[in-house]
Amino acid sequence: MKIIDAHTHVFEYIAGFGAKGELRSIGGGKARWANGDEIAMIPPELGDRTFTPEALVRLMDENNVEKSVLLQGSFYGFQNEYTYEAVQHYPDRFVGAATFDPFCKGAMQLLHRFLYELKFSIVKFETSSGGGLMGYHKDYKIDGDVFAEIFDEIAAAGATLVIDIGGPGMASFQPQAVANVAKKHPGMKLVVCHLLAPKLGDRDELETGLKLLKLDNVWLDLAAIPWNVAPEVYPYPTGLQYISLAKSIVSAKKLIWGSDVPSPLTRDSYAHLINYITSAEIFTVQETEDVFYNNAKSVYSL
């Protein structure tokens, strides 16, 4: 089976920022928030304070993954130059997404550089209230003034928009607002991360959100579902129920597999992040090929 991992990260160093302040490496694959909380972010065998493109390529080769989409966000810290360099060095293995803080006074200048000078074809925003933009800015409407001009420009450039709105219970969880953006820009491809990041007990909110996002130009990636249904363990029965629900509402053609490595590898293996789905018989053979390869190839023009 051919595989594209549509949600991965590389980083030169951990430079995160969120609701708990700055996030910095303390070695051993761990990092500490400014409030003192610590978190495991990299399996020690894959990196101490960094997760390099070379480490990701080795992981991909070991698991027969053909290509990866390099996304960014506030959790690891913005890595535009590092992502650009990774794509230049491995053009046959990676496609990269740019990101920035829309509250920057020079936001449009940054966007123009990423789209037209560095030729990024994907722009991703992690708006979530936990590790994203809404964790360190006042709450805002995703379909409001903060992003309006930015989304217009992304659509005009023919780029793909990727957005992480966190999960149910967060102020950033705004599936209706995302649907409004998609309807305003019907020619723009839009990917929502983490299947709306449902936790245990969030089935009703997931169902409502999926119905809102059943649109021609919207896809959902399946990254970090095992992480979000913790403390459930492999083979993640509730996570599989959520994926089955998504298939029944939006169809397999609208679902894209991703791993969200490296952090999920601190809890489970890369192979398990693949085969908990492939072993569950949720999808037909053709649907599995779509979810793990064809959908990402189309959405990200790989």
Q: Please list the alpha-helical segments (H only) found in 90-202.
A: 107-112, 145-157, 175-184
pLDDT of residue 131: 86
Element (H, E) at 30: strand 30-33
Helix (H, G, I), strand (E, B) or coil at 216: coil
SS3 286: helix
* Distance in angstroms (rounded) separating the CA atoms of residues 76 and 10: 9
pLDDT value, residue 215: 98
Share of the chain above pLDDT 70, in %: 100
Q: How far apart (Å, rounded) are the C-alpha atoms in residues 72 and 9? A: 6
Residue 30's domain comprises: 4-299
Count of structural domains within the chain: 1
- pLDDT tens over the chain, length 302 residues: 999 999 999 999 999 999 999 999 999 999 999 999 999 999 999 999 999 999 999 999 999 999 999 999 999 999 999 999 999 999 999 999 999 999 999 999 999 999 999 999 999 999 999 889 999 999 999 999 999 999 999 999 999 999 999 999 999 999 999 999 999 999 999 999 999 999 999 999 999 999 999 999 999 999 999 999 999 999 999 999 999 999 999 999 999 999 999 999 999 999 999 999 999 989 999 999 999 999 999 999 98
- pLDDT at residue number 130: 82
Could you give the C-alpha distances from 88 to 34, 68, 81, 302, in angstroms and in order? 34, 14, 10, 15
Q: For residue 169, what is the domain's CATH number?
A: 3.20.20.140
* Predicted confidence (pLDDT) per residue in 115-159, tens digit: 999 999 999 999 999 889 999 999 999 999 999 999 999 999 999
Residue 220 near residue 191 (C-beta atoms within 8 A): yes
